[in-house]
């Protein structure tokens, strides 16, 4: 199984490897378990290490040799680019399928963060003969890719965005995200929304709104937030009317925007000593949030709260079927990272350099499409669409996250919950040559 590198103007990616060392999955879990469980859930006693009983190879019957799966990513700094590194999980699915004897090839195109770019990316993928497409981006611009795919009759799975025609979302529903964010606010009576370009979360009630377009001074904005939350006392500047100073009127902060903007602004909030609860929109669960926080000299050991489902590494520490499935995914990450010839989706870096960010959500989207190809016994997009629309998957089918039901376009049936993050290294991924600003998100049981 190979993946095809591409042109990185709104268009590409690639690796491959023989079937070899697979038994090396996640025995390191036993070593780090006791310390990690304390961080992940202080109210739960340490469990036994998760046995590595789920094989790393994935076997899917009746998949035609040379089946192609398209992957659309957003490179650069455009809308949805926070998921580019997370999308590398698609390569882990490709490698696990290769190890299971399934000949599948990933073909990647860049949408450039625009609707027109998405349309062109999908048209190029359709011309290359893909059976289905993973749109590993988010935001309004993905409409271009969805419309082009619907016109071509090619099924689309979106791990990070809402669905459209002939597409399925494996992200949590907007209603459940809003409910989880409401829970994360812990009864705050006067939340302040700081809109960094993400808009107001659907259905979430806030008392005050501050809009901060691109170019806003984060330090000055954080100072204002500190004043409005009572962290510091506002004082009028020389010559200003004292009555013009906004008094402390907010008891929590909601931050909405891209992962990069949220990370930089949270660093500013840390410097401003804001102490009220700060709740982040789900973009913060992407690898780009921690990177932006570190770049702005913020502390990764702070308190971070968002909303979503348990799809991160900490899930591998639970002794249930999903925990074992996540362990198998992480075993696949290690196998691929150990391959010196394996490259990232755009074939411009070794996979080992991005292995820290490869995400189970993009992995599961690829697995779902390949399962649909197998069920259809064909790589014809129309047949795959029909097969996918009746598919139900769980950990036993090789996905690493929660169960998926593609009989509905909102395929993820699990509601979002409150997530917290830790910067503690769990030891479940291969070490990288350069230090990474990675966070691990887990269900916050203290929010129940």
pLDDT of residue 14: 38
Q: What percent of the chain has pLDDT over 90?
A: 75
- As a whole number, mean pLDDT of residues 39-43 equals 37
Are 158 and 142 in contact, with CB atoms under 8 Å apart?
A: yes
Are 332 and 88 in contact, with CB atoms under 8 Å apart?
A: no
Q: Taking the CB of residue 100, how many other CB atoms lie within 10 A of it? A: 19
Are 335 and 16 in contact, with CB atoms under 8 Å apart?
A: no
Q: Using CA atoms, how far apart are residues 250 and 276, in angstroms rounded to an integer?
A: 9
- Mean residue pLDDT across the chain: 87
Q: Using CA atoms, how far apart are residues 88 and 354, in angstroms rounded to an integer?
A: 7
Are 85 and 288 in contact, with CB atoms under 8 Å apart?
A: yes
- 24 three-class SS: coil
- 10-24, 287-301, 321-335, 403-417 — which is least confidently predicted? 10-24
pLDDT of residue 4: 65
pLDDT of residue 15: 38
Q: Using CA atoms, how far apart are residues 439 and 166, in angstroms rounded to an integer?
A: 34
- As a whole number, mean pLDDT of residues 140-165 equals 95
* Helices 321-337/89-99 angle, 10° precision: 90
Place of tokens 């411009």: 348
- 104 three-class SS: strand
pLDDT of residue 3: 64
Element at 305 (helix H, strand E): strand 305-308
Q: Is the pLDDT of residue 51 over 70?
A: no
Q: Using CA atoms, how far apart are residues 106 and 221, in angstroms rounded to an integer?
A: 43
pLDDT of residue 18: 38
CA-wise closest residue to 132 among 368, 394, 349: 368
Q: Taking the CB of residue 243, how many other CB atoms lie within 10 A of it? A: 7
Distant-in-sequence, close-in-space partners of 267: CB < 8 Å, separation ≥ 6: 218, 292, 293, 296, 297, 298, 299
Q: Using CA atoms, how far apart are residues 239 and 225, in angstroms rounded to an integer?
A: 22
Q: Is the pLDDT of residue 176 over 70?
A: yes
Q: Name the pLDDT band for 95 (thresholds 50, 70, 90).
A: very high
Query: Which of 376 and 1 is assigned the larger pLDDT?
Result: 376
Q: Taking the CB of residue 267, how many other CB atoms lie within 10 A of it? A: 22
For the CA atoms of 138, 135, 328, 62, the dihedral, rounded to the nearest 10 degrees, stands at 160
Please write the tens of the pLDDT for every residue from 383-435: 999 999 999 999 999 999 999 999 999 999 999 999 999 998 888 998 876 77
N-term to C-term CA, the chain? 44
- The vertex-337 CA angle with 334 and 339, nearest 5°, equals 115
């Amino acid at each position: 199984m190979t993946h095809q590198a591409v042109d990185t103007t709104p268009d590409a990616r690639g690796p491959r490897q023989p079937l070899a060392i697979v038994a090396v999955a996640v025995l390191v879990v036993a070593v780090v378990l006791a310390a990690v469980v304390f961080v992940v859930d202080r109210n739960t006693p340490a469990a036994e290490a998760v046995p590595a009983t789920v094989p790393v190879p994935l076997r899917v019957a009746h998949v035609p040799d040379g089946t192609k799966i398209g992957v659309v990513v957003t490179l650069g700094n455009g809308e949805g680019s926070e998921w580019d590194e997370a999308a590398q999980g698609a390569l882990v699915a490709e490698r696990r399928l290769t190890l299971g004897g399934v000949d599948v090839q990933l073909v990647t195109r860049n949408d450039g963060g625009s609707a027109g770019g998405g349309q062109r990316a999908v048209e190029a993928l359709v011309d290359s003969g893909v059976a289905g497409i993973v749109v590993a981006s988010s935001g309004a611009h993905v409409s271009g890719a969805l419309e082009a795919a619907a016109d071509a009759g090619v099924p689309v799975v979106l791990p990070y965005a809402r669905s459209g025609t002939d597409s399925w979302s494996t992200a949590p529903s907007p209603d459940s995200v809003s409910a989880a964010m409401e829970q994360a606010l812990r009864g705050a009576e006067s939340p302040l929304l700081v809109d960094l370009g993400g808009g107001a979360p659907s259905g979430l009630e806030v008392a005050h709104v501050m809009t901060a377009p691109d170019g806003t001074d984060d330090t000055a904005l954080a100072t204002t937030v500190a004043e409005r939350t009572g962290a510091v006392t506002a004082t009028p500047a020389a010559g200003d009317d004292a009555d013009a100073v906004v008094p402390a009127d907010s008891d929590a902060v909601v931050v909405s925007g891209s992962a990069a903007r949220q990370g930089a602004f949270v660093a500013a909030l840390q410097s401003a000593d804001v102490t009220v609860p700060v709740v982040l929109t789900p973009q913060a669960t992407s690898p780009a949030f921690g990177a932006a926080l570190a770049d702005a000299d913020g502390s990764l050991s702070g308190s971070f709260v968002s909303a979503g489902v348990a799809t991160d590494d900490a899930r591998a520490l639970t002794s249930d079927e999903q925990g074992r499935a996540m362990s198998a995914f992480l075993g696949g990450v290690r196998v691929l990272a150990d391959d010196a010839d394996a490259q990232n989706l755009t074939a411009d870096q070794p996979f080992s350099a991005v292995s820290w960010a490869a995400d189970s959500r993009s992995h599961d989207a690829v697995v779902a499409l390949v399962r649909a190809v197998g069920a259809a016994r064909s790589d014809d997009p129309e047949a795959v669409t029909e097969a996918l629309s009746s598919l139900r998957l769980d950990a036993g089918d090789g996905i690493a996250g929660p169960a998926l039901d593609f009989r509905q376009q909102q395929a993820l049936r699990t509601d979002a919950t409150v997530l917290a993050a830790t910067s503690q290294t769990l030891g479940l991924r291969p070490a990288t040559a350069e230090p990474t600003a990675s966070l691990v998100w887990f269900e916050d049981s203290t929010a129940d």
